Amino acid sequence: MTLHGQQIAVLVEDLYQELEVWYPLLRFREAGMKVVVVGPERKIYHSKHGYPVQADATMEEVSGEDFAALIVPGGYAPDRMRRYEEMVNLVREANRAGRIVAAICHGGWLLASADIVRDRTVTCYYAIRDDLINAGGRYVDREVVRDGNIVTARKPDDLPAFCRTILEALGER
Give me the torsion for CA of 1, 69, 117, 41, rounded to 10°.
Answer: 170
Rounded CA separation 79/107 (Å): 8
Q: In the Cβ-directed half-sphere of 121, how many Cα atoms lie within 13 Å? A: 9
Which residues are the active-site residues?
A: 105-106
Among 79, 76, 75, 4, smallest CA distance to 35 is for 4
**CB-based contacts of 50: which residues, under 8 Å, 6+ apart?**
none
Locate all alpha helices (DSSP H) within 1-84, ordered by sequence: 18-30, 77-81
